[in-house]
Amino acid sequence: MSGFFSWISGLLSRKPVAAPVASASEPRLFNPADADSPGHQSTDSDLIVQLEENLFCWLLDVEPGKLKADVDGADEILAELERRIENRHLDELPHQPATLPQLLKALSGETIERSKISSIILSDPKLTEQLLQVANSPFFRHGHHYIESVDQAVFVLGLNGIRSVTAAAVMRPMMAARNSREALFAQRTWRWALSCARATEMVARKHGEDTSAYFVVGLLPGLAYLTIRRELSRICRARGEGMEPEPALLRAALARQQWAVCQRLANEWKLPPKYHAWLLYAERPAPKQRHSAITDGLLLGSREILLHAHQRSLPEQELYRIIDLPPAQITEVRNALLAMLEEGRTSTSRV
């Protein structure tokens, strides 16, 4: 494990940003392996940066100009945030869920008995309640059948399905809004995280990879965003800067530290080494290699949720060019996401 900690250390040893405005040269959420390669069209990188800007406008509920405003003391605030991440002193970093180790161990096997999974979930009443809510949400529901019990959920969803539903149920309480000030951001971030996680899961399936593990990794950026927002609010309050960080400051912090906080979450929760490796590859893809399932999942999930919310998004013809899947498979994933989002528009589900 020491090897992972060594490159995570390098991942975090960066200089503070000079201004609270993200640019194409700064760390990004979307990092296709060939977006900046000499043989790739120069417009692709610009389009990807614009998609991220559109995403942040929607998540923060602001006009584009608000993301570029000057913020007094931005350098010092961002440096303090980076110091806390480097020193593992993030007050808002969610602790490992109590049932997570047992669930990960139980769900990692291919021959695990359904009754054992059910008993683990039922041992935690709060997790049981969350799981049933998630299982009946538009993102997971199978047909029009309402799932009434954990045993039924395990039977209907199967092992792979229950793994993803359980991961979402574990994380859902961590991403619930604590107050009205963060309510809209938390709500949108959760829906975005679910969209990206489901997209990542589906892309991983197309590549023949571990779908449930990729689902967990696909959720981490959303949880990292809310963690960064809460930590930044703490810093601003301590400095007497007000209750909430300015949108431009928050946008800079998210762009700067999103992957670092994902790694901290993976460390805190003692996730297997492959999770760390996938996160690093999503942040720093190898040239001319196949895109990470996480990268393509984030691109697809973000693009479709923005489109569904009637926000500016990535043009369809550009999407098919930058995603590392055959067009027919991209269309299949898109249609599945849009069906989930459309059902969620009229659903009374709390998820």
Contact 228, 261 (CB under 8 A): yes
**Alpha carbon 342 to its chain's center:** 20
pLDDT at 17: 37
Distance CA 282, CA 42 (A): 20
Residue 128 reports pLDDT greater than 80: yes
pTM of the entire predicted model: 0.86
Looking at this protein, which amino acid is placed at residue 52? E
Distance CA 135, CA 137 (A): 6
Tens digit of pLDDT for each residue in 265-307? 999 988 889 999 999 999 988 887 778 899 999 999 999 999 9
pLDDT at 21: 41
Q: Give the pair of three-digit tokens for residue 268.
A: 């805190």
**pLDDT interval class at 2 (50, 70, 90):** very low
pLDDT at 72: 85
Write out the E strands in 160-312: none
- In Å, what is the CA distance from 157 to each residue of 147, 151, 172, 215, 324? 10, 10, 19, 15, 28
Q: Which phi and psi angles does 349 have, rounded to 5°?
A: -60, 145
Residue 258's region, left for phi above 0, alpha for psi from -120 to 50, else beta, is alpha
* Mean pLDDT value across residues 34-54: 72
pLDDT at 71: 87
Distance CA 198, CA 296 (A): 11
* Mean pLDDT value across residues 160-180: 89
For the purposes of burial, counting CB atoms within 10 Å of the CB of 113, is it exposed (0-12), middle (13-18) or buried (19 or more)?
exposed
* Mean pLDDT value across residues 49-53: 92
Tens digit of pLDDT for each residue in 173-221? 999 999 999 999 999 999 999 999 999 999 999 999 988 889 999 999 9
CATH topology of domain 2-346: Hypothetical protein af1432 (1.10.3210)
**pLDDT interval class at 167 (50, 70, 90):** confident
Q: Give the pair of three-digit tokens for residue 344.
A: 């969620």
Which of 150, 124, 115 lies closest to 135, judged by CA? 150
Mean pLDDT of the chain: 84
Residue 222 reports pLDDT greater than 90: yes
Place of tokens 């929607």: 58
Residue 41 reports pLDDT greater than 60: no
Tens digit of pLDDT for each residue in 223-271? 999 999 999 999 999 988 777 899 999 999 999 999 999 999 999 988 8
Q: What CA dihedral angle connects 325, 198, 47 and 66, to 10 degrees?
A: 180
Contact 172, 130 (CB under 8 A): yes
> Which residues are CB-neighbours of 300 under 8 A, at least 6 positions away?
196, 199, 203, 319, 323, 330, 333, 334, 337
pLDDT at 160: 77
pLDDT at 231: 96
Distance CA 118, CA 149 (A): 9
pLDDT at 349: 46
